Amino acid sequence: MSYADRDQRHIWHPFTQMSDWLKEHPLVIERAEGNTLIDTEGNCYLDGVSSLWVNVHGHDHPKIRRAVHEQLDRLAHSTLLGLASVPSIDAAEKLLEVAPRGLTRVFFSDNGSTAVEIAAKMAFQYWQQHPDRRLQKKTRFVALKSAYHGDTLGAVSLGGVDLFHQIFGPLCFPVYRAENAGCYRCPYGLRYPDCDIHCLESMEGILEHHAEEIAAVVVEPLMQAAAGMLRLPEGWLRRVRGLCDRHEVLLIADEVATGFGRTGRMFACEHEGVTPDLLAVAKGLTGGFLPLAATLATERLFEGFLGPVEAGRQLFHGHTYTGNALGCAATVANLEIFKAEDVLARVRARAARLAQRLEGLRDLAWVGDIRQRGLMVGVELVRDRETREPFDPAERMGHHVCMAIRNRGVILRPLGDVVVLMPPLSVTEAEIDHLVSALEASIREVAAG
Ligand SMILES: *Cc1c(COP(=O)(O)O)cnc(C)c1O
């Protein structure tokens, strides 16, 4: 029996309508070289979404491979509950070296959802045990419309993508919802790109009226990724930081998608000189090799949890594989590569090339908008560019374009009708050129029916 048949017999795929999956012939990946994925039949594909936004330096960077091998020879895993471990200490130090200034503490977990959820629990508990009793009323969160922060229930509560999140509403805690800024489909009409004024007012209004009960604002800095690569306007994050300071509200930055060079800086917050009180990282943390995540905190936040053990102020949270040794070894190697190869300078050069090549797509009748930050791009397909009339979701245009591009040797995965381009940071100029010309040909092919 083929791998494809065996997959269809037993595997339940995430975010997938399995009745469609069972009718199609799944592509089965067997190995990878550089930025290329290779299937069981030997076909090669550019990994155009970095294996769901995680891969950073390609799939086989020798430094990460060696670091993981060497770590495996010493220790695969040991717990951080009651014990320390060498690789977790090394990884935390390296991470804080590159993190926004002012973050001093690292809490490890396994994935982006838990990294965000831990940040939310930290913010909540921080105020609960604050010596000023008035501040103990701070129990609620503000998040943006169309926010995506992961799939565990706390992260789902913070999320605002109706398609994913609505059904779980009865299980979730209520959240104040601020307008998402810079949205192509702004509910207030075609005011883009100046609708950000309205959006900031929405955040301002919530904080002015409800600050006494708000623990934290949670945002994806610069780019709301799963929402469909929605760009936040310049200066927005800095102004939200200012609002949080004014109203004694914590700022949680979810850099699970934007972290590790994706936007041309190590963290997106740096573009606006912002240090959040809590920073969630995951996807690119290990270079895309192993599942590891971290929640970074300021010393002030950390100190809010200190006290005699019988006071019960410790953070009651921990995952079995927290601080996994192999993941931490990969993290150290990942961060060393950034320095050794001046990766950020290369990302900025590649991003400029990508932007220039994407200009050519703007002439296509179906391309409504192209939104980019660094090597993070959404190409929004619409039925009519002038009126921004969308396709009927049932037509699955984004899906069809991503299937068509496979025949041209590229793997992409859309968000609805937004085609996402998230190549590894190690993408070459030739690969960028191929990616964009293959995308253009695929859009033309699907448009022609
Ligand atoms: C992917 C993502 C998450 C969730 O991460 P998982 O590792 O899938 O749990 C959270 N926040 C953002 C911004 C993401 O892109």
CATH of the domain at 171: 3.40.640.10
446: confidence class by pLDDT, cuts 50, 70, 90: very high
What was the pLDDT predicted at 195?
A: 55
What was the pLDDT predicted at 271?
A: 97
**210 — phi, psi (to 5°)?**
-130, 10
* Closest residue CA from atom 11 of ligand 1: 149
Q: What are 263's two structure tokens?
A: 């936007």
What was the pLDDT predicted at 188?
A: 47
- The mean per-residue pLDDT over the stretch 379-399 comes to 92
Q: Give tens-digit pLDDT for 105-140.
A: 999 999 999 999 999 999 999 999 999 999 999 999
3-state secondary structure at position 95:
helix
What was the pLDDT predicted at 191?
A: 46
Count CA atoms closer than 13 A to 287's CA, side-chain side: 30
- 26 in the same domain as 149: no
Other CB atoms within a 10 A radius of the CB of residue 437 amount to: 14
Given 331, 355, 373, the domain boundary residue is 331
What was the pLDDT predicted at 164?
A: 78
- Which ligand 1 atom is nearest residue 255's CA? 13
Cα of 12 from ligand 1 centre, angstroms:
19
- 125 in the same domain as 266: yes
Is pLDDT larger for residue 185 or for residue 237? 237
Contact of 361 with 353, CB cutoff 8 Å: no
Confirm whether 135 is domain-assigned: yes
Q: Give tens-digit pLDDT for 332-343.
A: 999 999 999 999
- 129 in the same domain as 277: yes
Q: Where are the alpha helices (DSSP H) in 129-223?
A: 153-158, 162-165, 196-210
Confirm whether 64 is domain-assigned: no
- 127 in the same domain as 7: no
Mean pLDDT of the chain, nearest integer: 94
Confirm whether 286 is domain-assigned: yes
- 184 in the same domain as 122: yes
What was the pLDDT predicted at 202?
A: 86
Cα of 260 from ligand 1 centre, angstroms:
14
Q: How many domains does the chain have?
A: 2
Cα of 108 from ligand 1 centre, angstroms:
15
User: What pairing do the DSSP bridges indicate for beta strands 410-411 and 418-421?
Assistant: unpaired
Cα of 143 from ligand 1 centre, angstroms:
15
Given 280, 312, 331, the domain boundary residue is 331
3-state secondary structure at position 202:
helix
Confirm whether 276 is domain-assigned: yes
423: domain CATH number is 3.90.1150.10
- Percentage, residues of the chain above pLDDT 90: 89
Question: Which residue range is the domain that position 278 belongs to?
Answer: 74-331
Question: pTM surpassing 0.85?
Answer: yes
What was the pLDDT predicted at 186?
A: 55
Cα of 374 from ligand 1 centre, angstroms:
18
Ligand 1 site-directed mutation target among 49, 50, 148, most atoms within 8 Å of CB: 148
- Which ligand 1 atom is nearest residue 226's CA? 15
Confirm whether 416 is domain-assigned: yes
Confirm whether 127 is domain-assigned: yes
Asked if residue 291 has pLDDT above 60, the reply is: yes
**211: CB partners within 8 A, 6+ apart:** 247, 248, 249
- 201 in the same domain as 169: yes
Contact of 334 with 287, CB cutoff 8 Å: yes
- 247 in the same domain as 188: yes
Confirm whether 69 is domain-assigned: no
Q: Give tens-digit pLDDT for 180-203.
A: 755 555 544 444 455 556 677 889
- Which ligand 1 atom is nearest residue 224's CA? 13
Q: Which amino acid is at 401?
A: V
Please work out, in degrees rounded to the nearest 5, the angle formed at the alpha carbon of residue 428 by the alpha carbons of 280 and 261: 20
CA distance 431 to 26: 24
Asked if residue 438 has pLDDT above 60, the reply is: yes
- 353 in the same domain as 234: no
- 352 in the same domain as 316: no
Question: Tokens 């931490």 correspond to what residue?
Answer: 328
Cα of 360 from ligand 1 centre, angstroms:
31
Asked if residue 346 has pLDDT above 60, the reply is: yes
Confirm whether 163 is domain-assigned: yes
Given 331, 355, 378, the domain boundary residue is 331
**Looking at 43-47, 94-98, 290-294, 365-369, which range is the least confident one?**
365-369
Ligand 1 site-directed mutation target among 55, 109, 114, 116, most atoms within 8 Å of CB: 116
Among 379, 378, 393, 384, which residue's Cα sits nearest to residue 366? 384
Please work out, in degrees rounded to the nearest 5, the angle formed at the alpha carbon of residue 274 by the alpha carbons of 270 and 277: 120
Question: Tokens 């089965």 correspond to what residue?
Answer: 28
Q: Which residues surround ligand 1 with Cβ inside 6 Å?
A: 111-113, 116, 148-150, 220, 225-226, 254, 256-257, 282-283
Q: What are 84's two structure tokens?
A: 């320390």
3-state secondary structure at position 439:
helix
What was the pLDDT predicted at 26?
A: 96
Cα of 26 from ligand 1 centre, angstroms:
24
